[in-house]
Amino acid sequence: MERTFTALLARMQELRDLQGIIGLATWDQETYMPAKADGARAHQLSTLQGLYHERLVEPWLGETLAWAAEQPGLEADQRAMVRVLTQERDRAVRVPQALVKALAEAQSRGLAAWRQARKEKRFSIFQPALARILELRREQADAYGHDGERYDALLEGYEPGMRVARLTPVLTALREALIPMVAAIVAAPRRVPEVLKGRHFDGEAQWRFTLRLLEAVGFDLEAGRQDRSIHPFTGGTHPSDVRLTTRIDEANPLNALFSTIHEAGHGLYEQGFSEAHYRTPLAAAPSMGLHESQSRLWENVVGRSLAFWEHFYPVLQEAFPQALAGVDVGGFHGAVNRVSPSLIRTEADEVTYNLHIVLRYEMELLLIHDELPLADVPAAWNERMKRYLGVTPPDDTQGVLQDIHWAWGEFGYFPTYSLGNLYSASLYRAAERALPDLTGHLRRGELLPLRDWLRTHIHRQGYRLPAEELIRQVTGRGLTDTDFLDYLRSKYGALYGISL
């Protein structure tokens, strides 16, 4: 095959097309696929992933990428494409096929053991499978290569460029600020009542309202769609084909509302990539944390703000005149922002949420470093829960077994959730500087100025820069907990009537 940038681009496009199709098959699996097709779909996905891997590790691609990296005539975007694909390929070639296979098997066993362990509420049932997963993930980290910090090699798979040495001080400081903040809120004399409990919210009306929200945030429903699934997610095949899902619960409208706004944040990112980057490695977020910053910015910073609901609460009331009778916008805003230390990460509020993450991050470091006997994991978990959040899981299912991530072998993933929160606050602050009437826009239901600012400064940049560099370019500084803590202090201080 020829050694030209055109040939290289054609291979990049082929790889992106395959990723798109894998996205379609995965989306379909969670939405419309008939139940009995499970086994066939697993084969189909494995065939596609095998083809993708085979094309990626082909020696010609490695040689052509190395050649391209030396060409002085390439444009900046072309150089970035070469850099990003080289990173991906280098990681793929470093892991021996035997290890890939062993990991897939360990994950599959891990998942089964985790499900059984949850059923019986005993971590010990999951422990042997976890031991094997950890052994293999350590081996994989060494195969990727690192400067003595194995966790860095795993983190790189989700948050390229981020390092433990950079992350630990930020998350530790965050933890130290959050623990007293939670305590102060819990002790606040003002109560925030759960005004939505015990009411019924018609499913079809919820669905229609979520579509209104999608329209309002500027999600293009001709270049995407929304469907229902058990676990909401964002998928699709291409920036012109972005697929969100949401979940309707007639007893609790917040599920669908915030799932839709959250996934719309991801979806706007995907739809916002530059046409010039389509079908290349640049039509991608530089990290999971940055992707998550978009979903959390829309879900939390915008979607749980009083300004946002000043416009949308009357619309919501029109959709649910009976269910929302007697609830005013203040009561609703309080109900969607109640702070309450709890056991389950996915149900946590904005203030306590990151303590759940820091706990997992600390546990993961210990596990990957092999510094914690596995038999002691539940006790270590529970001890931290008590220390950080003041609560104690009654059993392992509500404790260390609550997340699927470790059963899937995903170590290094959890911190990207906190990075998403920290980046979202910093980005929103930068947006406020650039759009002086941003709060006014929200109050009037005008969400497009914010979307367009994000589109210009984040979405259209794609993967030109690593996440923290892009954040630095947009906000003037890199990763920090300052903006996020300021945001929490101001919002929750007002809500609970205390000084934080």
Binding site for a copy of itself (CB under 8 A): 13-14, 17-18, 20-21, 24-25, 28, 32-41, 43-44, 47-48, 50-51, 220-225, 227, 237-242, 278-279
Q: Are 65 and 82 in contact (CB under 8 A)?
A: yes
Task: Identify the DSSP state of 300.
Answer: I
Catalytic residue among 159, 263, 292, 350: 263
Between 213 and 288, CB nearer to a copy of itself: 213
Between 283 and 474, CB nearer to a copy of itself: 283
Any residues with CB less than 8 A from the CB of 41 and at least 6 apart, and which? 25, 28, 29, 33
Q: Are 463 and 80 in contact (CB under 8 A)?
A: yes
Residue 3, Cβ neighbours under 10 Å: how many? Answer: 12
Between 240 and 482, CB nearer to a copy of itself: 240
Q: Are 10 and 36 in contact (CB under 8 A)?
A: no
Quote the least distance from Cβ 348 to a copy of itself, whole Å.
Answer: 34
Quote the least distance from Cβ 224 to a copy of itself, whole Å.
Answer: 6
Quote the least distance from Cβ 246 to a copy of itself, whole Å.
Answer: 15
Between 45 and 366, CB nearer to a copy of itself: 45
**Cα–Cα dist 388/181, whole Å:** 11
Residue 385, class by beta-carbon neighbours within 10 Å (0-12 exposed, 13-18 middle, 19+ buried)? Answer: buried
**Cα–Cα dist 136/87, whole Å:** 21
Quote the least distance from Cβ 180 to a copy of itself, whole Å.
Answer: 48
Biggest distance spanned by C-alpha atoms of the chain: 73
**Cα–Cα dist 269/281, whole Å:** 15
| Side-by-side strand order, sheet with 241-246 | 224-228, 241-246, 234-238
Would you state the structure tokens that stand for residue 491, as one six-digit string? 């919002």
Between 40 and 112, CB nearer to a copy of itself: 40
Q: Which of 368, 141, 369, 392 is nearest to 380 (CA)?
A: 392
Between 4 and 13, CB nearer to a copy of itself: 13
Quote the least distance from Cβ 25 to a copy of itself, whole Å.
Answer: 6
Specify whether 263 is catalytic. Answer: yes
Quote the least distance from Cβ 241 to a copy of itself, whole Å.
Answer: 4
Pairing of strands 241-246, 234-238: antiparallel
Residue 324, Cβ neighbours under 10 Å: how many? Answer: 20
Quote the least distance from Cβ 162 to a copy of itself, whole Å.
Answer: 31
Q: Are 253 and 319 in contact (CB under 8 A)?
A: no
Q: Looking at the annotation, which residues are catalytic?
A: 263
